[in-house]
Every structure is written in structure tokens, then in C-alpha cells.
Amino acid sequence: MFSILVLHGPNLNLLGQREPGIYGSLTLEAIDRQLEEAAAVLQVTVSSLQSNHEGFLVDAIHDALEQYHGILINAGAYTHTSIALRDAIAAVALPTVEVHLSNIYRREPFRHHSYIAPVAIGQISGFGADSYRLGLHALVHHLKQLELSTG
């Protein structure tokens, strides 16, 4: 059974309480619950962490190497600024899917660049809370393919 680490970056703890027009009305807890339900159907496990601190997220990525098969990450604004997160993902080399609630390419130009994208297997952006569920499906599919090809 695959175990997946779900990482939520800065300010995502405010989901459902502010700016529902951009980020939707679901709370982070509700998104995590939806992911757990989707994980049960896929027969994988998910564990979620949220932090507003870059170093905490870097440490969580390092620690993932021991315990998880893949990472689903919404790095929030660190997507556009953090070489440290990018380096951590590259260093552990765990299959990683990047997700965003909003379509970052329809927003301000500073959101169009992701430091995470080049070290992720793919990115899902713009489907609200469904981005996470779609990202989980994509990650699990990738892990299953990897398992089939490596035995």
C-alpha cells in the first residue's frame, strides 16, 4: 500500500474563512477529509501537514524519505519563491505532484513561475479543491506504473 505525504504551504490554514471567490469555501480540514476518502478508495494512505514556515516544510520533505512513497504539495506562495523547497524535493527524489486551487496562469505574472514544477512529475492548477483529488489520482497512478515497470 502506498503512503502519501500531503503538504500545504503558507496561509492555506485560512481556507474557507477568507477570499472564497479565489480559493473556494471549503476549509483545509474539509479538503483533507476529501483526500482521506479518495485515498481509501484508491487503497493508499495520506497524511497531511500545513505550515506557514519554509524550514518546517523543508524538514517535512526530508523526513518523508523514510516514511512515504510520494508527495502531494501545494506550496502556496513558496511555489514562486522557494529554491529551498525545490532543492529539498530534488534531493529526496520522491515522486511529487504540485497542486494549486487557483489557475496560477490566469493570475498575476509573479504567480506564473513555479520553482517546484521542474522537480515535480506534474502540476494540476485551477480546479479548486478538486486539484488535490486529481493530483492524488495522478500520483497514485504514477506510483503504480513505476511499480509495474521496476517490479
Catalytic residue ranges:
23, 100
Residue closest to 134 by CA, chosen among 15, 26, 38: 38
Q: Which of 5, 6, 7, 12 binds ligand CA2 (CB under 6 A)?
A: 12
* Binding of residue 111 to ligand CA2 (CB under 6 A): yes
Cell 498575476 -> residue: 108
* 19 interacts with ligand CA2 by CB under 6 A: yes
Sheet arrangement for strand 70-74: 45-50, 3-8, 70-74, 96-100, 122-125
Our finding on whether 74 is near ligand CA2 (CB under 6 A) is: yes
Count of alpha carbons within 13 Å of 57, Cβ hemisphere only? 28
Q: In terms of CB distance, is 3 or 11 closer to ligand CA2?
A: 11
Task: Please give the backbone phi and psi of residue 46, each rounded to the nearest 5 degrees, phi first.
Answer: -125, 145
* Alpha carbon distance 35, 41 (integer Å): 10
Assess 77 for contact with ligand CA2 (CB under 6 A): yes
Q: Is 23 in the site for ligand CA2 (CB under 6 A)?
A: yes
Among 13-21, 44-52, 57-65, 142-150, which window interacts with ligand CA2 (CB under 6 A)? 13-21
Residues that bind ligand CA2 (CB under 6 A): 11-12, 14-15, 18-19, 23, 74, 76-77, 79, 100-102, 104, 111
